[in-house]
Homo-oligomer: A and B are copies of this chain.
Amino acid sequence: MNVKITGASLPNIPWQDKPSKALNSPMWRYDRNPIIGRNPAPGVTRIFNSAVLPYKGGYVGVFRGEQTDGVPHIYLGYSDDGLKWEFETQKIPFTDQDGKSFMPRYAYDPRLIEIEGVYYIMWCQDFYGASIGMAKTTDFKTFTRLENPFMPYNRNAVLFPRKIDGTYRLLSRPSDSGHTPFGDIFVSESPDMEFWGRHRHVMSRSSAWWDGVKIGAGAAPIETSEGWLLIYHGVTGTCNGFVYSMGGAILDIDQPSVVKARCRRFLLTPEEDYEERGFVPNVVFPCAALCDADTGRLAVYYGAADSYVGVAFTTVDSVIAFIKEHSELSGEDTEPGTR
């Protein structure tokens, strides 16, 4: 392995070796996908766009569970191997700082990121318009809401897994009130997770067609000797709606608003039955990536067709080599992002 990864060993990472058939990217699917099928829990019709982390030798996750009234909320789940999951039957009981119940009206597309022993959940919710909600937990029993970092309209918030130069960093994608037909990725700083500022533009929607409409951060960035590896989603428009694919970029390690490399080609695009048909056809939507720092193995969790959860594999070495080989950057990508 050539790329050095700053992260933990994860010897029990979900894994399958690369298949022998020719591939158009260095990423391949778990052959038993989807790992989460329809009606996975009582009163929950679909789970997708969900995030997982290692926890106490196994795995914990926050899951977008579409209730049978169509409203999404976040459910906790546990797994021994990261592939077979069991879900709690009640939504995560978010509270305010005083311990009183403080539930979002809806909550979707959660991410889960650990910083210095604290687990942060961030999701999209109604804040008089769609924007970001956040909470923290240390024990997965008490979940304390933090201040909403931004006003509407915003989606796809993803924290970096450590402070950079003394401040927390949060990726997000400003949007509008509907099925937003535009969207770039920004990064913001906070000294305390209460006040946010020093906003910088990171990446624009691109001239490549697959991510030419809008983009959004997916998994927590992975720290490597080449920079932050960012797995994101990109969207193209068709006469019959949006198509969501997975892409990859490398951000400067100290100044993550500067993009060092960005793959012009998608890493994964809807092709399989469970990606092309479902509640929202043609969606591959990454929300988390497990990484074993020893081997460089990467397991990416993605929502499929707003109906299922799938896993895809790659290695940090091969995906970074592919991103660099096919990198194409716009002026807006390489700027510090201040105007």
A residues adjacent to B (C-beta < 8 A): 104-105, 125-129, 147-154, 172, 174, 176-177, 182, 184, 186, 188-191, 194-199, 201, 204, 332, 337, 339
Contact = CB atoms under 8 A, between A and B. Distances in A.
Contacts of A190: 195, 197
Could you say how many copies of this chain the assembly holds?
A: 2
A8 B152 CA distance: 36
Pairs A-B, 8 closest by C-beta atoms: A195-B195, A176-B176, A195-B197, A128-B201, A151-B174, A151-B199, A152-B174, A127-B339
A193 to B, nearest CB: 9
A196 B197 contact: yes
A200 to B, nearest CB: 9
Contacts of A189: 195
Contacts of A172: 151
16 contacts: A104-B339, A105-B339, A125-B339, A126-B339, A127-B201, A127-B339, A147-B197, A150-B151, A150-B199, A151-B188, A153-B174, A153-B176, A177-B182, A190-B197, A195-B196, A196-B196
A330 B285 CA distance: 38
A148 B339 CA distance: 8
Contacts of A199: 127, 147-148, 150-151
Contacts of A186: 128, 151
Contacts of A149: 197
A306 B337 CA distance: 31
A183 to B, nearest CB: 9
Contacts of A125: 339
Contacts of A153: 153, 174, 176
